[in-house]
Chain A
Amino acid sequence: MLEAKNRLGLIFFPAFDWCISPTHPEREERLLYTQDQLREEGVFDIAGISEYKPEVAGREDVERVHFCFPNLEAVTTTSHMVSAGGAIKAARLVMEKEEEKAFALVRPPGHHACKSVHGNRGFCNINIEAVMIEWIREHYGPLRVAIVDTDCHHGDGTQDIYWNDRDTLFISLHQDGRTLYPGTGFPHECGGVNALGRTINIPLPPHTGDEGFLHVIDHCVLPILEDFKPDLIVNSAGQDNHFSDPITNMNFSARGYAMLNHKLNPDIAVLEGGYAIQGALPYVNTGIVLAMAGVDFDAVREPDFDESKVRQSPQITEYIKKLCEGMVGLYLDPPKRPKVGDAEGEWFVRDKDIFYDTEGISESQVEYVRICPHCSGTLKLETWSTLNPLSVGIEVPLNACDECNAAGKRLLEEAHLKGNYRVTQYINRRERRYEHYGF
């Protein structure tokens, strides 16, 4: 009988009774064929692979991470709490050493959900990786975490949440934003004022194949991880780089995904996007599961796989080689200040506009971050959208210094005094205070 080299926990939760709409890509059918394939392969019988139920995330787990406007109930449904709970279960298994690794095969996804949430963007409402990572830090201390986002779309939500966090390294590999939603994720976006070099974006040209992705892992991601020395590596395992994906233009294969996970060796993987539900997901997920468990995945491939059809061009190979040369340098020696935004006294200020494609909501933000050499800096986020009038979110980070903590409290008082915000949300991670004012 097959035996896993690494004990792997699978949180397989296809949510067979939930959809955005009956024909939306995020519908009941999405993980059906993945389940068929995993069952037919006998994956759950491999010694060392165990299947678990998700937990249901609590409101405190979300409110620790997000500013929800006008409130949590308005922007989430049970499905989101279960999906985030699946990620939390994966983390619990690994942190309690019940399993060596864990893979949360859950839906809906989360990596387009930003710090401030007014609704659904890119099929995401809450950022399930961030909810998971902050749950870990709440219960197991301030770990250094690296998130490697291998979804084809730029993980703009995760980037936004960790923009100023110097203890979280966020690396996103994605199809170049000039050719795909959400249109961001360029190398110059490399972190906020207190966390420069902690966000690394690697935009890849359309039709990048296995060779290109694995080159980036070998020559960019692994050297950076080597230096950052994370306590935990998380793979945001989107599967829409697959050559058969209907909404993207990449040439990545199931075997390539398996190889990527073999090299990256993540502690936890969380499923993100991927909508070639018949031609890609069953094989990609089987590949990732086997790779994480340390079981031979050499014979895993798509039934119609033809290497010559998905091989990348020499020009792409050249382009990616050049791109990687610059990226490690950007991490080691980032620019002195972010490209977008300005310093105003002790605050660094930038304006942002966020569009929620699924629901057609437009949000505008002014983000103030306290410039601080000692911690990730207190954040004030003023936001208004086509749904919600001017509101504010204030966050004191987990590693906040005394001054930043005091600044956070001052900001909250000011918000109360001025009274010009419809909703005020206050997250004080240092003091574990989570407060909501207004309606």
Chain B
Amino acid sequence: MYLGIDVGGTHTDAVVLKDGKIVASAKVPTDHHNLFSSVSKALDSVLYDVKPHDIRRFNLSTTLSTNAIVEGRTEEVGVIVSSGPGIDPENFRIGGFYHVIPGSIDHRGKEVRALDVAALDRAVAACREAGVSVFAAVTKFSTRNPAQENAIAAAVADQADFVSRGHRISGMLNFPRRISTAYYNAAVWRTYNEFADAVAGAAEDYGLLSRINILKADGGTMPFSVSRDQPVESILSGPAASVMGTIALCDISEDCVILDIGGTTTDIAVFADGAPLIETEGIEVGSYPTLVRALKTTSIGVGGDSRLHVVEGRVRVGPERNGPPMALGGARPALMDAFNYLELTDLGDVAASRAGIESLAALWDTFPEKMAREAVEASVTAILDAVEDMIWAINAKPVYTIHELLADKRVDPRTLYVMGGPAMAFQPLLSRAWGGRVVVPENYAVANAIGAALTRTTVEAELFADTEKGRMFIPKFGVEEAVGANYRLADAEADARRHLLARLGEFEALDEDPEVDVTEAGEFNMVGMRGERGRNIRVKCQIRPGILK
């Protein structure tokens, strides 16, 4: 049996699945001040009539790290970077203890200028005096050569509870993002680990002997042990849980769009050939772009609780929310009140909805029916416009080879899957306006928890090889191996695959039959200025995100 818990903004959902069927489920309000108590209540509820030791797997999606960042409940981080020439690293200053140390590594990973040890000592001393005990060590091109990041980490080791090294978070190139990612990873480390200790303790108390996995934003999970060092990867996993839930509930094999219509927002995700699309670089956290991998999702401010208002004679929906709709005791009419008025739904106190719409219509000297209809239409239009914009942007994404440019593969979704509270009410309206198939899956209300329960463990990694230097490097795993002059792309792909599966094997019994996708692969003939030869090889691969059977 699989147990999934999704700690959401308003509710914490839990399900236990056996052979794909729900055997227990629970919905408890989320207590923002004590997320652990929400997890514990949900556990209490679903484990009431399930034997804990039958549970093989416990997957948890939590907003803990996200909330800590959004609410500023993070710890001071000593951020120590070396940059070398380029954009002034002062532009990437983050937190109150940011130190730039002279030192430079170039794009081939060659150390051009050694780290200034005296400056590093001064930075370390300044952090010690301030009592900072978590650190981020980030250097430019550390994913080509981590030596300077490792040296910084070594310099702070005796005064650090935790050091986040940039190259271990992601193998991608992007110095500013690496800085903010490593910063946040260190900033939430302590809070996250305290929570993790509490969850581990509770699991033990309940007699849950299974592995625990934490959901990531990219539609995969990471083992509990990994999450303790990479807590930043647990942020914004909520939309991923819903998306993975849809995969579990529907048989998706083609291009499609998933809408999750909630109270305040509608989240949109796009699938190509049945696989969810992933953000090319990473998501934004607290207005800083990061390297945290995530499903490509767009969120717009249209949901059941979106406030109705009139601008220049036209009814607008959202993006702000003023409490619940009047049907549920709110003070101002919201989108769900318009649905109630038109008898498309019968949520809560329908009479209150009617009264609200009527008084708003009177205020603008119009018919309540017209007002309600316009509101509903405006919400449908806003959602479908956002879907169209997102697909346009996906298809406009740059490519770098003539082959890809001419092949011009386009995403062309013909099916819309709708989830969330108002999904059923929206279905016929979207169906009319969209022109394609609009499907509301069964059990859509707990799709997020189902997604959490069934999401597979994923790992991704970049490999970089330079045969002139005779070296292969997988930054994320800290793997460095010597390679011969005849090392080719095929060897690199095999190596990447081998290390990825080995890594997964450390976490899993490998009974899930994981599939490895090579998402990028390139091999370049290098001809140096003095006629030296070699090959520059890059491979990016991932365990394909998916759900357990």
Q: Which residues on B sit within 8 Å (CB–CB) of A278? A: 106-108, 528-529
User: What B residues does A18 contact at CB under 8 A?
Assistant: 401-402
Q: Which of A38-57 contact B (CB under 8 A)?
A: 39-43, 45, 51-54, 56
Residue of A nearest to B177 (CB): A42
Give complex CA distance A36, B538 in Å. Answer: 11
Instruction: Name the interface residues of A14-58: CB closer than 8 Å to any CB of B.
Output: 14-18, 22-23, 27-29, 32-33, 35-37, 39-43, 45, 51-54, 56
Q: How far is the CB of B398 from chain A (nearest CB, A)?
A: 5
- In whole Å, how far is A257's beta carbon from the nearest beta carbon of chain B? 14
Interface contact B87-A82, CB-CB below 8 Å: no
Interface string of B92-115 (1 = CB under 8 A from A): 100000000000101110001100
Contact of A282 among B107, B281, B400, B522 (CB under 8 A): B107
Known: A15-B401, A290-B87. A23 touches B527 (CB 8 A): yes
Note all chain B residues with C-beta closer than 8 A to A75. none
Q: Is the C-beta of B288 less than 8 angstroms from some C-beta in chain A?
A: yes
Main secondary structure of the interface of A (DSSP, over half): loop
Whether B85 contacts A23 by the Cβ 8 Å rule is no
Closest Cβ of chain B: how far from A396's Cβ, in Å? 34
Partner of A56, one of B92, B406, B536: B406
B512-538 interface code vs A (CB 8 A; 1 in, 0 out): 000000000010111111000000100
Contacting pair A246 B529 (CB below 8 A) = yes
Complex interface: chain A residues within 8 A of B175 (CB):
40-42
Contacts of B281 in A (CB 8 A): 45
Our count of residue pairs bridging A and B at CB distance below 8 angstroms stands at 123
Asked whether any CB of chain B lies closer than 8 Å to the CB of A179, the reply is no
What is the minimal beta-carbon distance from B456 to any residue of chain A, in angstroms?
A: 29
Are A27 and B405 touching (Cβ within 8 A)? no
Cβ–Cβ contact B85 & A29, under 8 A = no
Q: Which among A1, A27, A303 is the interface contact of B85 at CB below 8 angstroms? A: A303
The interface size of chain A toward B, counting residues with CB under 8 Å, comes to 52
In this complex, the member of B86, B92, B107, B403 whose beta carbon has the largest number of chain A beta carbons within 10 angstroms is B86
- A301 contacts which chain B residues (CB < 8 A)? 85
Number of chain B residues whose Cβ lies closer than 8 Å to a Cβ of chain A:
43
Q: A45-B176, A300-B86, A303-B85 are in contact. Are A1 and B527 (CB under 8 A)?
A: no
> In the assembled complex, which residues on chain B have CB atoms less than 8 Å from the CB atom of A283?
85
Contact B398–A53 (Cβ < 8 Å): yes
Q: Digitize B170-188: 1 where CB-to-A-CB distance is under 8 Å, 0 elsewhere.
A: 0011111100000000000
CB contacts (< 8 Å) of B91 on chain A: these are 1-2
Q: Is the CB of A40 within 8 A of B85?
A: no
29 inter-chain pairs at a CB distance below 8 angstroms, sorted by A residue, are A1-B289, A12-B400, A14-B400, A15-B402, A16-B401, A17-B403, A22-B525, A27-B527, A29-B525, A32-B536, A37-B86, A37-B107, A40-B86, A40-B173, A41-B87, A41-B175, A45-B177, A53-B405, A82-B402, A246-B529, A278-B107, A278-B108, A283-B85, A299-B85, A299-B88, A300-B87, A301-B85, A302-B85, A303-B84
Instruction: Across the A-B interface, give the 5 residue pairs with the lowest CB-CB distance, nearest first.
Output: A303-B112, A42-B176, A17-B401, A39-B173, A36-B107
* Chain B positions near chain A (C-beta within 8 angstroms): 84-88, 91-92, 104, 106-108, 112-113, 140-141, 172-177, 281, 287-289, 396-403, 405-406, 522, 524-529, 536
Residues of A within 8 A of B (CB): 1-2, 12-18, 22-23, 27-29, 32-33, 35-37, 39-43, 45, 51-54, 56, 78-79, 82, 244, 246, 276, 278-279, 282-283, 286, 290, 295-296, 298-305
Task: Given A29-B536, A42-B92, output 9 extra A-B contacts at Cβ < 8 Å.
Answer: A13-B398, A29-B524, A42-B176, A79-B402, A246-B529, A299-B88, A300-B85, A303-B113, A304-B112
